[in-house]
């Protein structure tokens, strides 16, 4: 599989939905496979909240977050399709974001990086499409926040997208989703090392806050059933406790996962990404989701997972109903999923088959 | 209604389940109504994790946490019953706990207060019963962690309890319950003012950590449906924002609730109470809940609420099944409940009637 990774600059900048402007920005982009001569085989993969541009392949210790789905002869077959993935604007894996240097000030953006939205990501991905000389996407797809981008693509650029795959996602976050994200943000903001988002200037990182936030996030990504069967009420061995406050295996696991994440993820990006997720509402300013979808021409594949309690299947159903009301060609599938919300990340025969068939139909 | 509040000392101390010993301890106790001559009308009410001894009545700004249920002519009629409630050992409302003075050192216990358990609470309540010259409880009841105590009473002292009311509770916490509590504890422990639990010595309070913990707790106490209908995705007015990080009403509400709680509740008690909740397993060391209940003679009333996702009705059903397997006289009722887990706190015609009938049967 041909893999190319490059930083693409947009010196023309972008005016964000908020009205704020970035005079210029970069996107870190990775592509898999090759664009065919007719340029009809391009697929855009959008990442979820803590993902990045590395969607497939294995390099050193790093495996692409959707490597089970993207690759030669996989569900998204890179022998046939040219797959593009970029780190979202505001991310912390190479694209312009809070840890980047603000070219205006030559200092790290920190809290000065503007809030971006799902709308802005889609707009910047459109700019990327143009820059890559791709006339349209054969398909745009993603899970969770990535699924929101796929949905928004179908709404914003109906003539630039043939198919959209919206997995473990929703047309808007629920009150409980927002509430959970606010707790996570609060734990970051109140970390003594946060310094109102300007921690890099202070030479510190609010790791404790990110860790707590991730521990909470992790609970919402897993299904209760999965957690229960995996950890139950088993006590953690004394020898392998991460600290003495821990009694149960599940606590140790969350502590471990949270700590690891806090060492690689940026706090401002955490806040920005969750705010973008909370803020997205496909029907914003309209009377209903039906209205939002009335210009959609792409074919939709909506997949939900029974074990997902963050964006449960009902959220996907709402999109399906609005699609049907607009006579959009759409399929709505609910899979069991063993991993709760995270199920969209994992290969499963049926899941892979559904994606493959939809891509090739 | 006659209300008496008193601090009762137990100079004899208590050996805890962990093996730790408190050489002496105090319980802050409040009683409602009067013990009849035959001493057959005593009811013990056990509080939930953040409750205290003030279960009923109104004094100044303080309303008892179960005032909707306990009082003259209410579900628990104080014209007929003598209701006793104590702040649990390890609490922060007058009973011996982390903010008390350790008589051995003449210093605040802080992190030195031993971990107590549901078993220890029941044992200390038994000592209280003896001290009050009450021969047995006509009924022991409570919601959430209070329901766990009621269940444990029926197991530990079958000849001292006629009836037990177990509401919005479980025979053990689930993996997800433990996980959520661990996130809350983590946010407290990592507050820069926590000082390993010895914050009083440092003249500070880890309010930020308690606030974040409570924000999370609050989400788990409310039903998703209730949150959704109450807040939805409404934006908070700029004028009434608690801070500028807030966009949505639900965020503002959680911020407000969390902050208020952080001003009155003790951080070490928060950790201790949640650890007690996580640690409780009625069937600990036994092969099943059936075995745990095999000496129970009390009549059980188990109430669950459909909107409760912290201790959902299935948890109550597990107790009911074990009770039936032991031929225990028991009733299992599931009510709608509009307030999620917190539903047990609120008056509702049917709920009140069920409690009243059970008490009087």
Strand locations in chain B (E): 3-10, 14-15, 21-22, 25-32, 42-46, 58-59, 62-63, 70-71, 76-77, 82-86, 101-102, 107-108, 137-143, 161-167, 299-305, 330-335
Q: Please report the pLDDT score of residue B124 as a whole number.
A: 98
Identify whether residues B261 and B289 lie together within a single domain.
no
Q: How far is B339 from chain A (nearest CA, A)?
A: 14
In chain A, count of helices (H) and strands (E)? 10, 16
Identify whether residues A296 and A317 lie together within a single domain.
yes
Q: Do residues B134 and B265 lie in contact, with contact meaning Cβ atoms separated by under 8 Å? A: no
Identify whether residues A155 and A23 lie together within a single domain.
yes
Q: Which of A170, A172, A175 should be substituted to probe chain B, the one whose Cβ sees the most B Cβ atoms within 10 Å?
A: A175
Q: Please report the pLDDT score of residue A244 as a whole number.
A: 86
Identify whether residues B30 and B153 lie together within a single domain.
yes
CB spacing of A192 vs B192 below 8 angstroms? yes
Q: Please report the pLDDT score of residue A21 as a whole number.
A: 97
Last residue in a domain, options A274, A298, A319 = A274
Summarize pLDDT for A322-350 with one digit per residue, the tens. 999 999 999 999 999 999 999 999 999 99
CB spacing of A278 vs B247 below 8 angstroms? yes
Distance linking the first and last C-alpha atoms of chain A: 23
Identify whether residues B207 and B264 lie together within a single domain.
yes
Q: Provide the β-strand partners of residue A28.
A: A7
Interface of A with B (CB under 8 A): 172-176, 178-180, 182-183, 185-187, 189-192, 208-209, 211-212, 215-216, 219, 224, 227-228, 230-233, 245-248, 250-251, 254-255, 258, 275, 278-279, 281
Last residue in a domain, options A274, A302, A331 = A274
Among B192, B275, B281, the residue with its CB nearest the CB of A233 is B281
Q: Provide the β-strand partners of residue B53.
A: none
Question: Is the ipTM above a cut-off of 0.85?
Answer: yes
Identify whether residues B59 and B146 lie together within a single domain.
yes
CATH number at residue A293: 3.40.50.1820
Identify whether residues B81 and B222 lie together within a single domain.
no
Summarize pLDDT for B302-339 with one digit per residue, the tens. 999 999 999 999 999 999 999 999 999 999 999 999 99
Identify whether residues A136 and A186 lie together within a single domain.
no
- Residue A246: give the domain boundaries: 177-274
CATH number at residue B217: 1.10.1740.110
Q: How far is A314 from chain B (nearest CA, A)?
A: 13
Q: Is the pLDDT of residue B155 over 90?
A: yes
Burial B283-306 (b: 16+ CB within 10 A, else e): beeeeebeebbbebebbbbbbbbb
Tell me how far CA of residue B40 lies from CA of A52, A159, A310, B34, in angstroms. Answer: 67, 79, 50, 11
Q: Please report the pLDDT score of residue A340 as a whole number.
A: 95
- Secondary structure of residue A138 in the 3-state scheme: coil
Q: Is the pLDDT of residue B244 over 90?
A: no
Last residue in a domain, options A274, A298, A320 = A274
CB spacing of B212 vs A247 below 8 angstroms? no
Phi and psi of A124, rounded to 5°? -70, -35
Identify whether residues A95 and A116 lie together within a single domain.
yes
- CA angle at residue A93 from A92 to A97, to 5 degrees? 40
Identify whether residues B253 and B129 lie together within a single domain.
no
Average pLDDT, 10 consecutive residues per value, chain A (361 residues): 97 97 98 98 97 95 97 98 98 98 95 97 98 98 98 98 98 97 98 97 98 97 92 94 93 97 98 97 96 98 96 97 98 95 97 98 90
Question: What percent of chain B is modeled with pLDDT above 90?
Answer: 96
Summarize pLDDT for B278-291 with one digit per residue, the tens. 999 999 999 999 99
Q: Do residues A26 and A91 lie in contact, with contact meaning Cβ atoms separated by under 8 Å? A: no
- CA angle at residue A39 from A38 to A41, to 5 degrees? 115
Summarize pLDDT for A280-326 with one digit per residue, the tens. 999 999 999 999 999 999 999 999 999 999 999 999 999 999 999 99
Query: Number of structural domains, chain B?
Result: 2
Identify whether residues A256 and A325 lie together within a single domain.
no
Identify whether residues B68 and B141 lie together within a single domain.
yes
- Reported pTM: 0.96
């Amino acid at each position: 599989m041909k893999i190319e990774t490059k930083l693409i600059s947009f010196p023309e900048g972008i005016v964000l939905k908020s009205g704020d402007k970035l005079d210029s920005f970069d996107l870190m982009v990775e592509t898999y496979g090759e664009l065919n001569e007719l340029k009809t085989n391009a697929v855009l993969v959008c990442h979820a909240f803590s993902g990045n541009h590395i969607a497939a392949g294995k390099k050193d210790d790093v495996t692409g977050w959707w490597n089970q789905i993207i690759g030669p002869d996989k569900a998204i077959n890179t022998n046939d399709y040219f797959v593009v993935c970029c780190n979202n604007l505001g991310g912390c894996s190479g694209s312009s974001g809070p840890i980047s240097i603000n070219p205006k000030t030559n200092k790290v953006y920190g809290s000065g990086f503007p809030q971006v939205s799902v709308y802005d990501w889609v707009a910047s991905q459109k700019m990327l499409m143009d820059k890559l000389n791709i006339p349209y996407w054969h398909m745009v797809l993603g899970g969770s926040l990535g699924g929101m981008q796929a949905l928004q693509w179908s709404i914003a650029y109906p003539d630039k997208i043939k198919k959209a795959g919206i997995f473990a996602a929703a047309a808007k976050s629920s009150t409980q989703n927002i509430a959970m994200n606010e707790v996570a943000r609060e734990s970051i903001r109140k970390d003594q090392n946060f310094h109102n988002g300007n921690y890099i200037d202070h030479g510190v990182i609010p790791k404790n806050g990110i860790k707590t936030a991730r521990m909470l996030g992790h609970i919402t990504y897993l299904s209760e059933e999965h957690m229960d069967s995996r950890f139950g009420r088993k006590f953690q061995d004394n020898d392998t406790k991460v600290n003495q406050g821990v009694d149960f295996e599940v606590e140790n696991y969350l502590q471990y996962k949270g700590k690891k994440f806090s060492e690689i993820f940026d706090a401002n990006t955490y806040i920005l990404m969750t705010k973008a997720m909370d803020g997205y509402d496909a029907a914003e300013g309209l009377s209903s989701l039906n209205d939002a979808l009335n210009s959609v021409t792409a074919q939709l594949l909506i997949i939900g997972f029974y074990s997902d309690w963050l964006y449960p299947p009902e959220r996907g159903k709402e999109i399906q109903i609005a699609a049907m009301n607009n006579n959009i060609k759409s399929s709505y599938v609910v899979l069991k999923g063993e991993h709760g919300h995270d199920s969209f990340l994992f290969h499963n025969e049926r899941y892979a088959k559904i994606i493959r068939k939809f891509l090739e139909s």
